[in-house]
């Protein structure tokens, strides 16, 4: 079970972050007020996306340490989650805001790449110089 815990955390984060926040806010006036206070500006929206995808990226690297040595696979998985999140948002909104969507995906990828680079460099408690399996050389 201990080995499954990082994977369960990753899957829970992805599910939680895939839910369109606009839909969640419609379910409760209190949540609507909270979301409007937290994401009141474009800067807050960008920071929110960056934090979400840095967290998802770190959780993915914790759940699958082999991704540390496979940046293309890691980026493809992050892109899939970002496209999924934007796709769910599109179904909620009912129309595509292409520039906003592409900007969000760019922020998502940059944040996840930053998390990967920091972990790879050993700045976030990861294995500096980890091999392709994420193990520290002996």
Question: Which residue range(s) make up the domain with 37?
Answer: 5-120
Please choose, from the candidates 111, 116, 119, 108, the residue with its C-alpha nearest in 3D space to the C-alpha of residue 80.
108
Are 13 and 59 spatial neighbours (Cβ–Cβ below 8 Å)?
Answer: yes
Residues 6+ apart with CB under 8 A from 102: none
Is 50 exceeded by the pLDDT of residue 112? yes
pTM comes to: 0.79
Q: What is the pLDDT of residues 118-135, one digit of tens each?
A: 988 887 665 544 444 444
| 89 in any annotated domain | yes
User: Does 93 map to a domain?
Assistant: yes
Would 105 be classed as within a structural domain? yes
Per residue in 31-82, pLDDT (tens digit) is 888 888 888 899 998 999 999 999 999 999 999 999 999 999 999 999 999 9
């Amino acid at each position: 079970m201990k080995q499954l815990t990082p994977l369960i955390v990753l899957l829970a984060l992805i599910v939680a972050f895939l839910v369109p926040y606009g839909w969640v806010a419609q379910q409760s006036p209190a949540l609507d007020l909270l979301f409007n206070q937290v994401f009141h500006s474009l800067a807050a929206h960008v920071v929110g996306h960056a934090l979400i995808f840095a967290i998802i990226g770190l959780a993915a690297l914790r759940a699958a340490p082999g991704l540390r040595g496979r940046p293309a696979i890691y980026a493809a998985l992050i892109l899939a989650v970002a496209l999924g999140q934007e796709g769910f948002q599109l179904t909620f909104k009912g129309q595509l805001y292409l520039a906003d969507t592409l900007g969000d995906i760019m922020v998502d990828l940059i944040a996840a790449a930053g998390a990967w680079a920091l972990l790879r460099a050993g700045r976030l408690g990861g294995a500096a110089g980890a091999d392709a399996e994420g193990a520290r050389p002996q």
